[in-house]
């Protein structure tokens, strides 16, 4: 048997890296979150504006990250950038948050979403497998979600080529399916008058809620109330567009990383941004924005009130009729499975980098005979499965999204820090539009975080608590020298 090592090999090209960026971003969010956003802002104009703003924020971040990726083409990505700019403790807090909730929480949520849509074909998966009291229940769907995590971990532990192949196949499949939904949706929608109706009074915003008696409360929004609502609901589209930075975690396995990582970040985020905006235009072409939660069909329910917020399935039903439910379930299964493959592949590389620095379990720094950090992969797998069982992954994602935004701001601010600390360092790629573009990202995202602190204090506060809980663990690892 080949001896275990701690050095990764560069085997992934530009297409592979771009596939990981796009594939990790596209999960189930684009098919669901538009409904909540529509209820929160109540206008087609502001809805598309939020998706466009999300795209700009994401592309701005990707263009800025390119400089850091070119300077530090090492495994761990964002963790490495933060450490170089701010030191070990801040980088540990980032890695701690990624392991406890950001990466593993997303993996768990995506896995359960995969299982949830599998239950469309096998309804018995919704049945309870085990119940303890009234507070803890394990369903067959949760078990299927866990098995999907184990399966993908096993595949990725047998070599990066396996993960690469799965990523290319599933990313290509879901991009093709999304393009079909977009093209057919817009083509059919343009023949009717739904799109025109949706864009009448396109800037008249309102918040819609369903009362206990089934009636609707519609509150007009303007000024600070509108800004507050937009800042609170953009977290939905930002979450749907997250995980683009995962490609930086596997920098040590990308060929010519100083060029290919910045390129893949830009290409991947741009592709997904365009797809997301066009998908929402397709929704607006097929379904009325406002609807009735008591409606008996997809059209009468509209974008605001589709069954279980499945706006993608509702839109597809306007094209394909009843078979759309099954077709969309299959598409979301493909999308979530491919998304989780990218998350699982990339996340373990961050924990591998932490372990090499003595900030994670030491054995996570060892590569197996296939030159992949299998122990880091399985540690990630175990914790993600625990989150699947806990039933709390949805809450964890809410807390972590805010924490994730904070670390994005911190990382991009690191460009300014390193320009001052290391003015002569090699920079194969310099941040596009520096200092304006990175500064705009910091300003816009900081404003969103402040808005969230005001309008969603509980969840954002818990996000901060999760980050700060890492401080005692950091000092514990320093006291022991490393985690055994």
Q: Tens digit of pLDDT for each residue in 365-397?
A: 998 888 889 999 999 999 999 988 876 656 666
Position 244 pLDDT exceeds 50: yes
pLDDT band at 124 (very low <50, low <70, confident <90, very high): confident
What pLDDT is stored for residue 397 in this prediction?
66
Distance CA 225, CA 93 (A): 34
Could you list the beta-strand ranges (E) of 14-100: none
In the chain, pLDDT over 70 holds for what percent of residues?
A: 94
Tokens coding 301: 């329910």
Average pLDDT for residues 289-293, to the nearest whole number?
A: 90
The DSSP-derived string for 390-437 is HS-HHHHHHHHHHHHHHHHHHHHHHHHHHHHH-TTS--SS--TTTTHH
Are 35 and 308 spatial neighbours (Cβ–Cβ below 8 Å)? no
Q: Domain ranges for the chain, please list them.
A: 14-480
Average pLDDT for residues 134-143, to the nearest whole number?
A: 78
Burial of 416 (0-12, 13-18, 19+ CB in 10 A): middle
Distance CA 291, CA 298 (A): 9
**Topology adopted by domain 14-480:** Amino acid/polyamine transporter I (1.20.1740)
Length of the chain as a residue count: 484
In 3D space, the residue among 265, 208, 360 whose CA is nearest the CA of residue 21 turns out to be 265
- Characterize the bridge pairing of strands 216-221 and 205-210: antiparallel
In 3D space, the residue among 39, 23, 122 whose CA is nearest the CA of residue 311 turns out to be 39
Distance CA 109, CA 18 (A): 23
What pLDDT is stored for residue 302 in this prediction?
93
Question: Which position has the token pair 């009717």?
Answer: 192
For the four alpha carbons of 336, 339, 344 and 345, in that order, the dihedral sign comes to positive
Tokens coding 294: 């008591």
Beta-carbon contacts of 321 under 8 Å, excluding residues fewer than 6 positions away, are none
**67-93 confidence digits (pLDDT tens):** 998 888 887 889 999 999 999 999 999
What pLDDT is stored for residue 482 in this prediction?
45
What pLDDT is stored for residue 135 in this prediction?
63
**171-203 confidence digits (pLDDT tens):** 888 888 888 889 999 998 888 899 999 999 899
pTM equals: 0.86
pLDDT averaged over every residue in the chain: 88
In the chain, pLDDT over 90 holds for what percent of residues?
A: 41
């Amino acid at each position: 048997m080949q001896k275990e090592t701690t050095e990764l090999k560069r085997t992934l090209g530009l297409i592979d890296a771009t596939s990981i960026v796009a594939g990790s971003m596209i999960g189930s969010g684009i098919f669901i979150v538009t409904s909540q956003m529509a209820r929160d802002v109540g206008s087609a104009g502001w809805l598309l504006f939020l998706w466009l703003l999300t795209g700009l924020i994401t592309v701005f971040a990707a263009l800025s990250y390119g400089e850091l990726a070119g300077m530090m083409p090492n495994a761990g990505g964002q963790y490495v950038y933060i450490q170089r700019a701010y030191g070990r403790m801040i980088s540990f807090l980032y890695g701690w948050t990624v392991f406890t909730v950001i990466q593993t929480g997303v993996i768990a949520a995506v896995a359960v979403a995969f299982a949830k849509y599998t239950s469309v074909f096998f309804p018995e998966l919704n049945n309870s497998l085990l119940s303890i009291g009234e507070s803890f229940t394990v369903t067959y769907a949760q078990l299927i979600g866990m098995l999907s995590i184990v399966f993908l971990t096993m595949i990725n532990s047998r070599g990066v080529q396996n993960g690469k192949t799965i990523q290319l196949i599933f990313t290509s499949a879901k991009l093709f399916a999304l393009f079909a939904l977009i093209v057919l949706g817009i083509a059919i929608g343009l023949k009717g008058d739904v799109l025109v109706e949706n864009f009448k009074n396109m800037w008249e915003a309102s918040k819609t809620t369903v009362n206990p008696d089934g009636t609707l409360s519609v509150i007009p929004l303007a000024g600070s109330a509108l800004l507050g609502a937009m800042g609170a609901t953009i977290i939905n589209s930002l979450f749907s567009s997250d995980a683009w930075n995962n490609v930086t975690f596997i920098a040590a396995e990308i060929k010519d990383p100083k060029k290919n990582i910045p390129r893949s970040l830009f290409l991947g985020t741009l592709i997904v941004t365009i797809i997301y905006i066009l998908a929402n235009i397709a929704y607006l072409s097929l379904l009325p924005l406002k609807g009735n939660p008591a409606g008996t069909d997809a059209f009468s329910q509209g974008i605001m009130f589709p069954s279980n917020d499945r706006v993608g399935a509702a839109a597809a039903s306007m094209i394909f009729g009843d078979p759309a439910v099954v077709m969309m379930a299959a598409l979301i299964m493909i999308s979530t499975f491919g998304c989780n493959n990218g998350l699982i592949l990339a996340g373990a590389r961050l924990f591998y980098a932490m372990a090499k620095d003595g900030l994670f379990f030491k054995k996570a720094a060892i590569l197996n005979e296939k030159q992949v950090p299998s122990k880091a992969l399985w540690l990630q797998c175990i914790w993600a499965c625990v989150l699947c069982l806990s039933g709390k992954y949805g809450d964890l994602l809410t807390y972590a999204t805010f924490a994730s935004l904070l670390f994005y701001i911190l990382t991009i601010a690191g460009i300014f820090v390193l320009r001052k600390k290391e003015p002569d360092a090699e920079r194969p790629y310099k941040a596009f539009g520096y200092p304006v573009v990175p500064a705009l990202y910091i300003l816009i995202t900081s404003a969103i975080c402040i808005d969230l602190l005001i309008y969603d204090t509980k969840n954002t506060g818990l996000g901060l608590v999760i980050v700060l809980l890492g401080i005692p663990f950091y000092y514990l690892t320093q006291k022991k020298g490393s985690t055994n």
